[in-house]
Amino acid sequence: MNTAIATAAAVVVPRSRYLKCEGREIHFMDWEPEEPAGPVVVAWHGLARTGRDMDPLAEHLCALGWRVICPDTIGRGLSQWSPKPEAEYCLDFYSRIATSLVDQLALKRFHWVGTSMGGAIGMACAAGPLHGRIERLVLNDIGPKLADPAVQRIRSYAGSPPGFDTVSELEQYFRTIYKPYGYISDAQWRLFTESSTRRLPDGRVTPHYDPAMVRQFIDHPDDYDLWPTYDRIDVPVLCLRGAESDLLLADTAEAMRDRGPRALVVTIAGCGHAPALNVPDQLDLVQRFLAGH
C-alpha cells in the first residue's frame, strides 16, 4: 500500500508527528493536503491496534482534499506507554488525550471515525468534552453495549500477546485473529503487521501495544456501558455493523436506530468485528455520510 498519493494539487505524503497530551507523548499520522478542500476527520483505531489501520480511509479522503488525523492511543503503536495503567487506560483519559490533541492542532470542528474502542472514545467525546465540535460521527462495529462473550474473547488474546521468532509468523497470527475484518489484501496484511510489531528483549516479535491496556476491563468495568452517553449525542451518527459481529449484536444496533441520535445503521456483509474500512464500498459509504449525502 502506497503512503504517497496524488491529488489534483500535489503529491501528499502523510507526516508522522508527536505531541505531548495530558503529559504523555502521543504519535499520530497527519494526512494534510497542501490545499485542503474538505473537512477534517479524526480517525481512531481499535483496542489493540494502531492508527496505521486507518491508512486506506485516510488515503481515500485525502485524495479528495480532506485532512485526516490518525492517532495511536496511549499504550499502542508509537505512543508512550502509561506509567499509571490502572488510572489512564480508560475512556475518560483517552477522551482527555483526544481533546488535548485537537486543541493543540487548533481543530475547531471536525468529523470522527472510530473503529471499536475508537468509536467508544468518539461517543464519549461527542457527548462530553468535544460536544459541539464533532459534526458527524461514524461508529465502526461499536455501540453503547458490548456483548460479554466477545469482550472475554478479546481479553483472552489481547491481555497476553504471544511472541514469535519471525515477523512472518506474527503476520500469520494477525491473519488468524483478525480474519473477521473481512477482505484484506496481501500487501495490506504486510503493512498491518509491520506497522504493529515490536521486538521483545529476547529478540522475538509481538504486537506493538502495552498488554496492561486490558486493565481497562478490570479497573473500569463499566467503561463501555454507554447508553446514557449515546443518548446525549446530538449529531448525525452512522453505525457500521459487521454482519457476523459478535461484539455489536443486531438488537443493540436496532436500538441505536430508535434512541439518542437515531443512528443510520448499515450492515456490512462478509465480515464480523470489525469492517477493515479498506474496500471501495466501505470507503465510499463513509465518505458520503461525512459529506452529508
Mean pLDDT of 69-75: 98
Residue 28 pairs in a beta bridge with 17, 71
Is residue 135 a contact partner of residue 113, using CB atoms and an 8 Å limit?
A: no
Look at residue 65 and tell me whether its pLDDT is greater than 80. Answer: yes
Residues 109-118, mean pLDDT to the nearest whole number:
98
Q: What is the DSSP pairing of strand 237-242 with strand 264-268? A: parallel
Q: Are 232 and 260 within 8 A, CB to CB?
A: yes
DSSP string, 145-209: S--HHHHHHHHHHHSS---BSSHHHHHHHHHHHTGGG----HHHHHHHHHTTEEE-TTS-EEESB
Gap between the Cα atoms of 103 and 113, Å rounded: 18
* Phi, psi dihedrals of residue 97, rounded to the nearest 5°: -65, -45
Q: What percent of the chain stands above pLDDT 90?
A: 91
Sign of CA dihedral 288, 282, 48, 159: positive
What pLDDT is recorded for position 8? 42
Evaluate whether 28 touches 70 at the Cβ level (below 8 Å).
Answer: yes
How many residues are present in the chain? Answer: 293
pLDDT, tens digit (0-9, with 9 covering 90-100), for 7-57: 344 456 799 999 999 999 999 999 999 887 889 999 999 999 999 999 999
**Locus of grid cell 436496532:** 254
The cell numbers describing 57, all together, are: 480511509
Cβ atoms 213, 75 nearer than 8 A: yes
For the entire predicted model, the pTM comes to 0.94
How many beta carbons lie within 10 A of that of residue 236, not counting itself?
Answer: 17
For residue 114, the SS3 value is: strand
Looking at the DSSP bridge assignments, the partners of residue 25 are 20
Q: What is the pLDDT of residues 274-292, one digit of tens each?
A: 999 999 999 999 999 999 9
The residue among 77, 119, 108, 158 whose CA lies nearest residue 286 is: 119
Residue 6 has pLDDT above 50, yes or no: no
What is the model's pLDDT at position 154?
87
| pLDDT > 70: percent of the chain | 96
User: What sign does the CA torsion over 269, 68, 112, 264 have?
Assistant: negative
Domains, the chain: 5-290 (3.40.50.1820)
- Could you tell me if residue 20 is left (phi over 0), alpha (psi between -120 and 50 degrees) or otherwise beta? beta
> Is the C-alpha dihedral spanning 186, 189, 194, 200 positive or negative?
negative
The candidate with the shortest Cα–Cα distance to 21, out of 73, 61, 76, 64, is 73
